[in-house]
């Protein structure tokens, strides 16, 4: 069995989205543990540990996981560990590194270095969250300053924000394509291709046509970008995650690496697509992908390695004390944010706040 560590199991419930559907036949091979259950003393028995969602953790949470990592590594040398919390880079650090190494043509900046931005358009997004851009395309230094002020007024964490230079990744059919590929240990697994007429490509509201379906089929079959994908993961220090990227004039450009990607959705309540050629192509491609993904996960649980004896790991008192204090602070901020959000969306009380925000934040 391998232990699958994750952040926020309520928002990303592997047990229902993967273990009960696409991963049902291998669900007995892994045990999911939420980082919120970190305690001063824990007993571990797994043959491998997959630390997903490290990029979602705070500095003190990463310290706690690093102490667990060190104890397992020193006392159970045969146990495999993935995503070293001291090596993995955040999204901002990844994009900086990929530009420095020549894999990406575009640059990223912290918001306190906004005065260094000299190429437009740009947009602002979070370093940690996976909600896409927080602004439209910003086309001048003045508009950038206004956008940052508006985000600050809205309560955004300035330390979490990053400015990203826009890259036009439209293909000849006018669609922006987002490619996605997983790394699971030594395995590189091309996944899906999404297309949209908007530059920020999301699965919701994307285009659905046969050319896109065939693109996904070829992407999964030919492994054309696999060497580049693996290099990007290695530069980021990430053993498990999903890389999202575009292709500009035949050259891939990395958008982000999600270290806790969705690996299998639960039963859908949306209206099913018609049983046409597009549906059949995509169903076959995605079924084959999930076979490979299951095989990759199974390879983590190497049954040639004996089941280890129980290992008691301990997180040091200073780290546990800091973690407890941080959790209390996070709970207080969450309650305050909820009050502010309810006020902002109130039909009456929030009207002046919404008007002010619209005036401050330009839309691209």
pLDDT, tens digit (0-9, with 9 covering 90-100), for 50-104:
999 999 999 999 999 999 999 999 999 999 999 999 999 999 999 999 999 999 9
pLDDT per residue as tens digits for the range 117-138: 999 999 999 998 888 899 999 9
Exposed/middle/buried for residue 219 (C-beta within 10 Å: 0-12, 13-18, 19+)? buried
Which residue intervals of 131-276 are DSSP H helices? 141-153, 210-222, 226-236
Which residues make Cβ contacts (< 8 Å) with residue 309, sequence separation at least 6? 45
Distance CA 95, CA 244 (A): 12
Question: pLDDT class for 206, splitting at 50, 70, 90?
Answer: confident
Q: Residue 267 pLDDT > 70, yes or no?
A: no
Distance CA 192, CA 212 (A): 10
pLDDT at 272 (0 to 100) = 66
- pTM of the complete model beyond 0.85: yes
The secondary structure element, H or E, covering residue 124 is: strand 122-126
In angstroms, how far is CA 97 from the centroid of its own chain? 17
pLDDT per residue as tens digits for the range 15-55: 668 888 899 999 999 999 999 999 999 999 999 999 999 99
What is residue 74's DSSP assignment? H
The backbone torsions φ and ψ at residue 216, rounded to the nearest 5 degrees and listed phi first, read -65, -40
């Amino acid at each position: 069995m391998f232990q699958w560590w994750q952040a926020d199991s309520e928002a990303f419930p592997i047990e229902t989205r993967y273990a009960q559907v696409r991963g049902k036949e291998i669900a007995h091979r892994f045990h999911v543990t939420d980082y919120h259950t970190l305690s001063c003393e824990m007993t571990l028995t797994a043959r491998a540990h997959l630390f997903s969602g490290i990029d979602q953790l705070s500095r003190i949470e990463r310290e706690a996981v690093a102490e667990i990592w060190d104890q397992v590594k020193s006392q159970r040398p045969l146990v495999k560990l993935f995503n070293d919390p001291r090596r993995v880079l955040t999204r901002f650090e990844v994009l900086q590194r990929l530009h420095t190494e020549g894999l990406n043509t575009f640059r990223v900046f912290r918001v306190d270095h906004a005065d260094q931005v000299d190429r437009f358009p740009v947009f602002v997004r979070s370093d940690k969250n996976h909600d896409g851009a927080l602004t439209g395309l910003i086309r001048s230094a003045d508009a950038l300053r206004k956008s940052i002020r508006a985000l600050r007024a809205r309560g955004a964490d300035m330390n979490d924000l990053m400015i990203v230079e826009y890259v036009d990744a439209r293909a000849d059919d006018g669609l922006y394509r987002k490619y996605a590929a997983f790394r699971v240990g030594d395995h590189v697994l091309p996944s899906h291709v999404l297309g949209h007429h908007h530059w920020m490509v999301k699965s919701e509201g994307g285009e659905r046509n046969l050319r896109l379906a065939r693109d996904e089929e070829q992407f999964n079959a030919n492994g054309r970008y696999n060497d580049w994908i693996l290099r990007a993961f290695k530069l980021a220090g990430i053993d498990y995650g999903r890389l999202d990227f575009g292709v500009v004039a035949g050259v891939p450009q990395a958008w982000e690496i999600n270290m806790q990607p969705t690996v299998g959705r639960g039963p859908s309540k949306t209206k099913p697509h018609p049983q046409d050629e597009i549906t059949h192509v995509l169903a076959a491609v995605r079924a084959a992908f999930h076979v490979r993904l299951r095989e990759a996960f199974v390879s983590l649980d190497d049954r040639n390695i004996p089941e280890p004896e129980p290992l008691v790991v301990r997180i040091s008192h200073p780290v546990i004390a800091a973690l407890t204090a941080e959790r209390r602070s996070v709970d207080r901020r969450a309650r305050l944010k909820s009050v502010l959000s309810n006020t902002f969306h109130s039909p009456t009380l929030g009207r002046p706040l919404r008007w002010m925000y619209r005036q401050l934040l330009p839309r691209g």
